[in-house]
Structure formats: C-alpha cells, structure tokens
Chain A
Amino acid sequence: MALNVLYFAWVRERIGEPREKVETQAATVMELIEELRAREERYAMAFSDLSALRVAVDQELTEFDAALDGAREVAFFPPMTGG
C-alpha cells in the first residue's frame, strides 16, 4: 500500500522533508515506524523517543498501536502548542 507520510515542526526538520510517499506493508503505525527507523539515520533520530511524538492517521489523533488498514495519510509531529 502507498501511504502519504507527513512530518511537522522539528520532526519535519529532522527528516528533512514535509511529506513523502511510502510503499509499505506495515499493519500498524508502530510497524511503519520500525520500517522508517531501519531506512536511514535521520529517521532513527526523528523516531528515537516516541514519548516526544504524536501520530495522526487520516487526520485523526491516534496511538502508535493503531492499525493502518485502509489508511491513506499518516502524520508524525511533536505535542501540539496552539492557542
């Protein structure tokens, strides 16, 4: 499956791009993270501390064990600081 993977704030800076298409068989967000970590050092750096990260699947905030079946867009970002 082809996923649009988006990065925001310092996650975007560490990865070096705001979005990319990822071809993956990952069943969950965590499996996707493991695949990305194994790719290159910059991903391993960005995903080194998951407690500092949040994830949204198809623009809904969710958990790292969330399933990816049918998902089109996954976004990784730090805790939000609006208001």
Chain B
Amino acid sequence: MRIVVQAEPFDFGAEANAFASGHTDMGAIVTFTGVVRDLPGDPLDRMVIEHYPGMTEKALESIAAEARERWSLGDVLVIHRHGEMRPGDMIMMVATAAPHRVDAFAAAEFLMDYLKSRAPFWKQEFTADGAEWVASKDEDEDALKRW
C-alpha cells in the first residue's frame, strides 16, 4: 500500500506500470485518475487545493486500510496533489490490484467515494470573476451510504 500527498505532478503512466508490475497473483488492476475540468461558460484559470498536512495522510491510510478489509486486494495506491493546478492537469489517482476484477473495481469506487468527502482537501477555483471555494455536493455524501 502506498499513499502519496504531494504538490508536484505525477507520471500517471509510470505509476500505473510500476503498480501493475511484479504481481503474478493479481488478475485485475483498476486505475482512476481525476483531472482538473474547465468550467463551461466561465473559463477556469486555475484550481488551488488546500489540505491538512498530517491528517490528510492519516485519513487516506485509514480509507485504504478499510478497503483492504472489505475486499480481497493485493495492493492499493493513492496519489493526491495539493497546490496550484491548471485545466487538464491530473489531480489524483487511485489504483487497486486484486485477484479478480469485481473486487478491484468496487474497491477503487469505494476509495474515490470516501476520499472525496472524508480526506481533508478543499478545492478553490479561480476564474475571471474571482476565487470561489468548491461546495461539497449532497450526492457525494449520499454516495457513502451505499457502502
């Protein structure tokens, strides 16, 4: 299990390859990548992500540990950036390795649902109109109920 919180960009291809290599008993690797999305009608100049150093790592580790208890997983990777990003930049990725794909997919979705509203990150969007903190969505909270 590897949890990385960093300001620097990450190399998605290299990370995915390294994660997928070296297992002979994992039949399924699932990856998800979150990308900064431009805003229709109100072009996004940049996004800045604030986080809570210390708690962020703890929260991600506990979410990943919970995923490993619920599903048969060989490995979990979470990389999440903070700081300034532009449209098209990768914000984060998760990867799961499991003997079978059902577990790998479910665990990746669980990780995403939980880290969206339980890991201490806050997004702020900068457009020509100024800066705005991204509001959490009710559906993000609702998404936790299915687990």
Contacts and interface: CB of A to CB of B under 8 A. Distances in A.
A82 B115 contact: yes
Contacts of B85: none
Given A6-B52, A56-B52, A59-B58, A80 B120 contact: yes
Interface in A38-83: 56, 59-61, 75, 77-83
A59 B56 CA distance: 8
Nearest to B136: A79
A83 B34 contact: yes
Given A59-B52, A75-B55, A81 B91 contact: no
Interface residues of A, number: 16
A60 B92 CA distance: 22
A79 B117 contact: yes
B80 A82 contact: yes
B133 A9 contact: yes
Interface stretch (B16-24, B69-77, B95-103, B121-129): B121-129
B122 A78 contact: yes
15 contacts: A8-B120, A9-B50, A9-B122, A59-B52, A77-B120, A78-B136, A79-B117, A80-B116, A80-B120, A81-B122, A81-B123, A81-B134, A81-B135, A83-B92, A83-B121
Interface of B: 34, 49-50, 52, 54-55, 58-59, 80, 91-92, 112, 115-124, 133-136, 141
Given A9-B124, A78-B133, A79-B136, 5 more contacts: A61-B118, A77-B52, A81-B133, A82-B80, A83-B116
